[in-house]
Amino acid sequence: MLITAATVATGWELLQPGWIEISGTTVLRSGAGPPPGPTDVDLGPAIVVPGFVDTHVHGGGGANFCAATQAQTAAAVQFHRRFGTTTLIASLVSASPAELLRQVTDLAEEVRAGLIAGVHLEGPWLAPTRCGAHDVSLLRDPSPEELDAVLSAGGGAIRMITLAPERTGALAAIGRIVDAGAVAAVGHTDATYEQTRAAIGAGATVATHLFNAMRSIHQREPGPVIALLEDPAVTAELIADGVHVAPPLYRHISASVGAERVSLVTDAIAAAGMPDGGYRLGRLAVDVVDGMACVAGTDTIAGSTATMDTLFRFSVAHSGLPADDALLLAVRQSSINPAAALGIPGVGLTAGAKADLVVLGSNLAVEAVMYAGAWVPSWAAA
């Protein structure tokens, strides 16, 4: 299949006009200028970008990954795919030891089936003072026995684990996580600058939703934010939905750390794409009002109702860069960087990559999605 469009963003450059040749589930090649043969699909003025990669998402379309059933998992994946997310890591919230083992065991089956690209454990080894939308009664220290049991239950399906480095046993846990081939992330933490530096030294390489649910910057105690930003080995997650991070802060971080170190994540919950009302995140009740999710009866933000295309548009609108540079940055932050941070191969629109792509209109709304070489309908067309 030979596809042409006014703009093809490979992940590293803009091809204007551009073309992509696809065979089966794989990109054979891509290039700029006239296509090398008869065009099968001419997308005209559209912008084609790699499929979005969301490495921190709890659900969507009314479905919740915490349920850890095939039906709920498939429903959430299909919902997000219609908005361009072609690679998804299912995130869990804090749970009891027995429930956590069940969730990981069941979701590992969906990883092996290819439905999701991995599992992210956001907790239960978090700081009670920065628990956010986690049940504080479920938070605990990362014991070697529990961590080994969870990693074993995952059988390689666990891609990332978020923990607070100040918890007893956390530094040793980071070593175990990395040795198991997963990524250790720092988040939901009240750690000092020094404690965070120690976590990075032990192997932590991701900042879970930077700024949110972590100690703030203080002029005499810079805390985790500065430690995470100043280390070039760390990728910073940002929930760029217009709620979690203000546009000037997004712009400053993107400009200061470089194009390769910011990863956009939705942190979406089951309420994404659904009406305002009552939902659940793990054991906690969540109220959604005007699209903003909070723990019921509080002003504590409980994930988001965003999809990756929303974050993509936010990035382009608020990066402060010229149009072409803004587009390239948004592609890196929504596809290339999150995949690189978690070691997910085959992302991008270059030879050998998986044939996952998103077709965007002039307003950057999703017009079509291709997953593994096959077209799927956008949510609006469903």
Catalytic site positions: 267
φ/ψ of 153, rounded to 5, equals -65, -35
At residue 109, what is the residue type? E
Sequence-ordered list of residues with C-beta below 8 angstroms from that of 329, at least 6 positions apart, any chain: 254, 259, 315, 319, 321
Q: How is residue 261 written in tokens?
A: 């170190």
List helix spans (H) across 113-245.
144-154, 170-179, 193-202, 223-230
Say how far apart CA 156 and CA 216 lie, in whole Å: 34
At residue 101, what is the residue type? L
Element spanning 136, H or E: none
Tell me the CA distances in angstroms from 238 to 27, 246, 354, one per residue in order: 29, 11, 25
Sequence-ordered list of residues with C-beta below 8 angstroms from that of 210, at least 6 positions apart, any chain: 225, 228, 229, 236, 237, 238, 245, 253
Other beta carbons less than 10 A from residue 200's beta carbon: 21
